[in-house]
Amino acid sequence: MTLNIVGIGPGSPDYITPAAMNAVMNSEVVFGSRRALELFPSARKTVVLGARDMDEKLGRAAELAISMEVSVLSTGDPGFSGVLKPLKRIISSRGLPVRVKVVPGISSIQLCAARLLIPWDDADVITLHGRGEEGILDVIDNGRPTIILPSRNPSKTAAFLIECGLDPERRVAVCERLSYPDERVLKSTLRDVSESEFSYMSILVVL
């Protein structure tokens, strides 16, 4: 059978692709965060993924997929700070004979670029999930916008950049809770962002 790794978009049902919906509806078991599972109320059987038991349940999903159709939901796109990487690691380390299919999704990074009218080939895209912030410094002054998926609140990343010598008046944007009814796109400065509060569902763009 198949382990479907399904990108479900940034959060709104409007950004779920037909391919993602078909994969989930044809699965006997669906794994995902509570927020992700709420997008598929008609799923047959669901298992909630939590931060504390993530690897354990991803391993269970991979093992079940040897004999049945299983989907694992990944916010945005599975290949960008999603569950594709940990699932590949688990499957490889256990030598599981499972067929994997990735269903791409619309990343919040894509939606952020769209909101700010930034072409993909004119920007550097960085994820800080599970990484240090130092990597930003290699590209921050190359003349291109830098789209950053923070591992912490954008205010912390902005403060870090100021500490590293960037001009506090450098123009930036924060895209918060993209695709949700309370979505906010704020254009401001590093200083103002460093002194503000944002949802963890935010993207920082240094212009």
**How far is the C-alpha of 147 from the C-alpha of 79, rounded, in Å?**
16
Whether 2-103 shares its CATH topology with 108-206 is answered: no
User: Which pLDDT score, from 0 to 100, does residue 132 have?
Assistant: 65
pTM: 0.90
**Mean pLDDT, range 23-35, rounded to an integer:** 97
Instruction: Indicate the CATH number of 108-206 among 3.10.20.600, 3.40.50.300, 3.40.1180.10, 3.30.950.10.
Output: 3.30.950.10
Instruction: Indicate the CATH number of 2-103 among 3.40.1010.10, 3.40.50.300, 3.20.20.80, 1.10.260.40.
Output: 3.40.1010.10
- Indicate the Cα dihedral angle 79, 131, 200, 143, nearest 10°: -80
**If you average pLDDT over every residue of the chain, what do you get?**
94
Residue pLDDT, tens place only, 158-204: 999 999 999 999 999 999 999 999 999 999 999 999 999 999 899 99
Residue pLDDT, tens place only, 60-95: 999 999 999 999 999 999 999 899 999 999 999 999
User: Which pLDDT score, from 0 to 100, does residue 151 have?
Assistant: 77
**How far is the C-alpha of 35 from the C-alpha of 122, rounded, in Å?**
32
* Confidence band of 124 (pLDDT split at 50, 70, 90): very high
* Sequence ranges of the domains in the chain: 2-103, 108-206
